[in-house]
Structure formats: C-alpha cells, structure tokens
Amino acid sequence: MQIFTYTPPSIPWLDIRYQDRDIIVINKPSGLLSNPGRADNTFDCALTRLLQRYPEAILVHRLDCATSGIMVFALNKKAESNIKTQFQNRLSKKTYIAEVSGHVEKTHDVIELAIKPNHQSPPLQQIADDGKPSKTYYNVIEQRKSSTLVELKPVTGRTHQLRLHMLAIGHPILGDDFYGDNAVIAASNRLCLHAMTLSIAHPYSQKELTFTSSHPFK
C-alpha cells in the first residue's frame, strides 16, 4: 500500500448532472474526497465545493476518494431523510464499472463474503467470517489482453466492498493502491472503479430517477 497524498483534481471543479429544488447530482472525479477528512488539507472535497455554490447542500452518501462517478446530495432536510432511508433500506440501485486484473472466468456470479475493519491497518477492511454480511453481483463485459471489464452491482454498501470482493476472487481492481500489489498499482494511474448509474425514488414525487455517467475505462 502506498502512503496517501491528497492532490484533488480541479478541472472540472464541479460536474453537475441534475438539479431541482430537492436534490443535486454530480459526477465526482477520481481523487476527490466526498466529504472533508480530519486533516486541514482535506477540506477541499465534493461537499465543500457544492457548499460554495449551494449552501443548503447535504451529504447523504459517499464514494471512496479514488472512485469516480454519480453522487446525489440533498438540498433540504426532508430530502436528506428520505434518500438516506432509501440507502439504508437498500431501495436504491447502483451499478459500477471496474477494470480488474486477469481474466475472470465466470461470465456472471455473486460474491457473498463478510467484511470488517482491519484494526491493525486502518482505514483498510478485511474479509472475515465475523464481519458484516456483504453481497455483490458481477457480470463480465469485456475480456481484454490482461484484464477484464466487469459490471458490479452491490446489494450491501460496506466500506471497500467492491475492492475486497474482486480481490477475494483473485482479480483486484487495477490501480488499487490499498489492496493491490506493485503490478496492480502500476497498471493504472487511478483506481479503475466508476459509479456508472444510480437509481433512486425522488424524495418529493417518488418517481424513479436514474442518473448515468459513462465509464472512462475505454
């Protein structure tokens, strides 16, 4: 694992994909924190950038710093409560795209491996029988020369779930400097994990909305 240094991208500063009176949706770049960390130099993040323009913005879920893609924020307390409840009750639908090391043999499968914090090396997590139940469906999209493009649909939302589940079946996500070996880290200048689609019920109308951001792993 490499030592974490935080140099968030500045272009684009904010990639807003949707906005109404209740929610705002952005396409978060890889390398930008979702919300501030403890250190002073981590103040710059998706939330603080939004707050500069929309002081009422409220964080309702997170993406890992290294993960890019769709994030939704609430613009009032009622919307915050509604969307958080959807996430907690697993009513939202998420699809990620990842490029992983090697050739995944099964075209589709489900991974059910419990996860808990690695207290010896925070903020890392680990697969453990006494961890929290975790479930991910995957489908192979494309076999490449020495990697595989996969679609990942997590049922649960554990910290580092997709990284750990792909690692556990022998196919770590390229560019993963938390769990990958030197070859995996060197294979990409970023973590090859992208939150491509997010579907939620609108907190006011209850109409299902789906937001999409094309993956960059061409």
Token look-up 């929290």 returns 132
**What are the strands, taking DSSP E only, across 55-168?**
58-59, 68-74, 93-101, 108-112, 115-117, 125-127, 135-143, 147-154
Q: What are phi and psi of 164, to 5 degrees?
A: -70, -40
Instruction: Report d(CA 17, CA 195) in Å as an integer.
Output: 14
Annotation marks residue 64 as catalytic: yes
| CB-neighbour burial class of residue 213 (10 A; exposed 0-12, middle 13-18, buried 19+) | buried
CA 217 to chain centroid, in Å, comes to 15
Instruction: Report d(CA 195, CA 15) in Å as an integer.
Output: 14
The active-site residue, picked from 15, 40, 44, 64, is: 64
- Find out whether 153 and 95 touch, Cβ atoms under 8 Å: yes
Active site residues: 64
